[in-house]
Chain A
Amino acid sequence: MPLPLFILFSALTLGFAVAVIANRNPVTAALCLVVSFVGLAALFIGLSAFFIGIVQILVYAGAVMVLFLFIIMLMDIEEEERKHFDRLRTAGGIAVGIGVAFLIGGVLWDFDYGKASLDDVPVQFEAAITLREADADSGIVRSANATAALREGRLKDVALVGEKLFNDYNLHLQMIAVLILIATIGVVTLGKKDSPAPDSGSSGGDKASES
Chain B
Amino acid sequence: MPAYILELIVVGLGLILLLLESFLPRLGAKGLAAIGSVGLLVVLFLLPSVTGAPSESTGIIWKFYSADSLALFYKGLALITTILVLMMSVVYVPVMQRYLGTGGGVGEYLILPVFTCAGLMWMASANDLTSIFVSLEVVTIGFYIMVAYMRRNVGSLEAGVKYLILGAVSTGFLVYGIAFLFGVTGQTNLDVISTVLGLLEGQDKIILFSFALLLVAFGFKVAAVPFQMWVPDVYQGAPTPTAAFLSVGSKAAGFIVLSRIVDAFLGDHGVQTGDGSYQDQIQRVLLVVAGATILFGSLAAIPQTNFKRLMAYSSISHAGFILLALACAYPVRMDMASGEVVAFYLAAYLPMTMAAFFVLCIVRSSRGEEEISVLDGLGKRSPFLAFVLLVSVMGLAGIPLTVGFLGKLYVFQAALDQGHFVLLAIATLGAAAGFYYYFKVVRSMYWNAPSDQDAIAVGTGSRVLLALLAAAIIFLGLNQGIILGFLR
Please tell me if the beta carbons of B134 and A208 are within 8 angstroms of each other in the complex: no
Please tell me if the beta carbons of A189 and B130 are within 8 angstroms of each other in the complex: no
Would you call A167 an interface residue if the criterion is a C-beta within 8 Å of the partner chain's C-beta atoms? yes
When A203-B25, A205-B107, A208-B29 are in contact, do A183 and B141 touch as well, CB less than 8 Å?
A: yes
- Per-residue contact bits, chain A 166-196, to B (CB 8 Å; 1 contact, 0 not): 0111111001101101110110111011111
Would you call B400 an interface residue if the criterion is a C-beta within 8 Å of the partner chain's C-beta atoms? no
Would you call A85 an interface residue if the criterion is a C-beta within 8 Å of the partner chain's C-beta atoms? no
- Chain B residues within an 8 Å CB radius of A207: 25-28
Please tell me if the beta carbons of B21 and A170 are within 8 angstroms of each other in the complex: no
When A185-B111, A189-B145 are in contact, do A175 and B25 touch as well, CB less than 8 Å?
A: no
Chain A interface secondary structure, helix, strand, loop or mixed? helix
The interface centre, meaning the residue of A114, A167, A171, A210 with most chain B CB atoms within 10 A of its CB, is: A171
When A185-B111, A211-B30 are in contact, do A103 and B209 touch as well, CB less than 8 Å?
A: yes
Would you call B115 an interface residue if the criterion is a C-beta within 8 Å of the partner chain's C-beta atoms? yes
- Per-residue contact bits, chain B 128-139, to A (CB 8 Å; 1 contact, 0 not): 001100110110
Would you call A4 an interface residue if the criterion is a C-beta within 8 Å of the partner chain's C-beta atoms? no
When A183-B141, A189-B104 are in contact, do A106 and B205 touch as well, CB less than 8 Å?
A: yes
CA distance A179 to B108 in the complex (A): 15
Please tell me if the beta carbons of A193 and B103 are within 8 angstroms of each other in the complex: yes
> Nearest CB to that of B148 among chain A residues?
A190
Please tell me if the beta carbons of A204 and B29 are within 8 angstroms of each other in the complex: yes
- Chain B residues within an 8 Å CB radius of A189: 104-105, 108, 145, 149
Partner of A204, one of B21, B102, B103, B142: B21
> Nearest CB to that of B118 among chain A residues?
A178
Would you call A112 an interface residue if the criterion is a C-beta within 8 Å of the partner chain's C-beta atoms? yes
Please tell me if the beta carbons of A138 and B58 are within 8 angstroms of each other in the complex: yes
Partner of B104, one of A110, A114, A205, A210: A205
CA distance A176 to B144 in the complex (A): 16
- Chain A residues within an 8 Å CB radius of B27: 204, 207
User: Count of A residues near B, CB < 8 Å?
Assistant: 49
Would you call B119 an interface residue if the criterion is a C-beta within 8 Å of the partner chain's C-beta atoms? yes
In the complex, which residues 79-112 of chain A have their Cβ closer than 8 Å to any Cβ of chain B? 103-104, 106-108, 110-112
Partner of A112, one of B25, B131, B138, B202: B202
CA distance A196 to B25 in the complex (A): 20
- Per-residue contact bits, chain A 45-74, to B (CB 8 Å; 1 contact, 0 not): 000000000000000000000000000000
Would you call A140 an interface residue if the criterion is a C-beta within 8 Å of the partner chain's C-beta atoms? yes
> Nearest CB to that of A111 among chain B residues?
B206
Please tell me if the beta carbons of A171 and B131 are within 8 angstroms of each other in the complex: yes
- Chain A residues within an 8 Å CB radius of B131: 171-172, 175
Please tell me if the beta carbons of B60 and A167 are within 8 angstroms of each other in the complex: yes
B208 to chain A, nearest CB (A): 8
Please tell me if the beta carbons of B4 and A182 are within 8 angstroms of each other in the complex: no
> Nearest CB to that of B157 among chain A residues?
A190
Would you call A122 an interface residue if the criterion is a C-beta within 8 Å of the partner chain's C-beta atoms? no
The interface centre, meaning the residue of B32, B102, B142 with most chain A CB atoms within 10 A of its CB, is: B102
Please tell me if the beta carbons of A185 and B108 are within 8 angstroms of each other in the complex: yes
Please tell me if the beta carbons of A204 and B32 are within 8 angstroms of each other in the complex: yes
Please tell me if the beta carbons of A171 and B61 are within 8 angstroms of each other in the complex: yes
When A190-B148, A209-B97 are in contact, do A179 and B141 touch as well, CB less than 8 Å?
A: yes
The contact size tier of chain B is 35 or more
- Per-residue contact bits, chain B 67-84, to A (CB 8 Å; 1 contact, 0 not): 000000000000000000
B308 to chain A, nearest CB (A): 22
- Chain A residues within an 8 Å CB radius of B93: 208-209
- Chain B residues within an 8 Å CB radius of A178: 11, 115, 118-119, 138
When A182-B142, A194-B101 are in contact, do A211 and B29 touch as well, CB less than 8 Å?
A: yes
- Chain B residues within an 8 Å CB radius of A167: 60
Please tell me if the beta carbons of B183 and A204 are within 8 angstroms of each other in the complex: no
> Nearest CB to that of B111 among chain A residues?
A185
Please tell me if the beta carbons of A176 and B145 are within 8 angstroms of each other in the complex: no
CA distance A176 to B138 in the complex (A): 7
Please tell me if the beta carbons of A195 and B145 are within 8 angstroms of each other in the complex: no
CA distance A28 to B24 in the complex (A): 48
- Chain A residues within an 8 Å CB radius of B137: 179
Please tell me if the beta carbons of A204 and B107 are within 8 angstroms of each other in the complex: yes
Partner of A182, one of B32, B141, B151, B203: B141
- Per-residue contact bits, chain A 120-163, to B (CB 8 Å; 1 contact, 0 not): 00000000000000000011100000000000000000000000
In the complex, which residues 144-167 of chain B have their Cβ closer than 8 Å to any Cβ of chain A? 144-145, 148-149, 151
A165 to chain B, nearest CB (A): 11
A-B contact pairs, 16 of them (CB 8 A): A103-B209, A111-B203, A140-B58, A168-B63, A179-B137, A181-B115, A182-B116, A182-B142, A190-B149, A194-B104, A201-B25, A202-B25, A207-B25, A209-B93, A210-B28, A211-B28
A-to-B contact residues, CB < 8 Å: 103-104, 106-108, 110-114, 138-140, 167-172, 175-176, 178-179, 181-183, 185-186, 188-190, 192-198, 201-211
B-to-A contact residues, CB < 8 Å: 4, 11, 18, 21-22, 24-32, 58, 60-61, 63-65, 93-94, 97, 100-108, 111-112, 115-116, 118-119, 122, 130-131, 134-135, 137-138, 141-142, 144-145, 148-149, 151, 183-184, 202-203, 205-206, 209
Q: A112-B203, A175-B122, A185-B111 are in contact. List 20 more A-B contacts (CB 8 A).
A: A104-B209, A106-B205, A111-B183, A111-B206, A139-B58, A178-B138, A179-B137, A182-B116, A190-B149, A194-B101, A194-B103, A195-B102, A198-B102, A201-B25, A203-B105, A204-B106, A207-B27, A208-B93, A210-B28, A211-B29
